Amino acid sequence: MTAKDVESDEAIWALYELWCKAYNKERDHGEMARRFNMFKENAEFVYSWNKGCRYIGEQRYLGKHADGINEQEMIEVESLRGYSDPKRYLQSLGIFIESPNQSP
């Protein structure tokens, strides 16, 4: 990710579209618009973090939940990981849970 990728909302939107393709996320325009702010915050954070890294091993990346996680995905994570409080665990990783009725 470069400075150009996060220089404007339009650039971040283009990055978001590439991210969706890379992770095979099928999102219609409305769903992308609803999740955009979460993706934008994560992209800006990752870029800022990586700018200060001296070694590649310290760098972060936009993972498969960079635009948030829905309740069904949280249930899947809970069953796979066995954490007593998966929501808190995900939040500690910077992944925030959205409810299906949450408006933008």
> What's the rounded mean pLDDT across residues 79-90?
63
Please tell me whether residues 8 and 39 are part of one structural domain. Answer: yes
Please tell me whether residues 41 and 7 are part of one structural domain. Answer: yes
pLDDT per position as a tens digit, 8-50: 999 999 999 999 999 888 888 998 999 999 999 989 988 888 8
Q: Which residues contact 97 (CB under 8 A, 6 or more apart)?
A: 68, 69, 70, 71, 74, 87, 90, 91
Please tell me whether residues 36 and 13 are part of one structural domain. Answer: yes
Q: Which own/partner contact pairs does 9-15 have at CB distance under 8 Å and 24+ positions apart?
A: 9/40, 12/36, 12/39, 12/40, 12/43, 12/44, 15/43
Could you give the number of structural domains in the chain? 2
Lookup: tokens for 82: 């066995």
Query: What domain range is 9 assigned to?
Result: 3-60
Please tell me whether residues 73 and 54 are part of one structural domain. Answer: no
d(CA 6, CA 47): 8
Global confidence as pTM: 0.67
Please tell me whether residues 7 and 32 are part of one structural domain. Answer: yes
Please tell me whether residues 16 and 36 are part of one structural domain. Answer: yes
Report whether 85 contacts 75 (CB < 8 A).
no
